[in-house]
Amino acid sequence: MPTLIMRPTGRSAQLHQENFGREAGPRWGGWLDLWARQRQRAALRDLADDPHRLNDLGLTRQQALEEADKPFWR
C-alpha cells in the first residue's frame, strides 16, 4: 500500500490566503456596502429628531427622513 507523506509548507498557506482575499473581495464587497448603507440610514433616522445634529450635517428633518426611507439598494 502506498504511503502518503504530508509536509506543511509556509508557501501553500500564503497562497491560500492570497487566493481567498482575491476571490472573496468582489463577492462580499457589494454586500458589505449595502449593509453599511442600511446602518447609516438607520442612524440618520435616529438623528431626525435632533435639530442640533441635523444642523451640523446641513440637513433638514424632512431631508433626513427622505434619505432614511430609501431602500438600502438605492
What are the tens digits of pLDDT across the range 28-44? 678 888 888 899 999 99
Share above pLDDT 70 across residues of the chain, in percent, rounded to a whole number: 64
Its pTM surpasses 0.75: no
Of 24 and 63, the structure prediction assigns the larger pLDDT to 63
Q: Provide the pLDDT for residue 74.
A: 77
Average of per-residue pLDDT values in the chain: 77
Q: Provide the pLDDT for residue 53.
A: 93
Of 21 and 64, the structure prediction assigns the larger pLDDT to 64
Q: Which of 72, 67, 68 lies closest to 34 in space, CA to CA?
A: 72
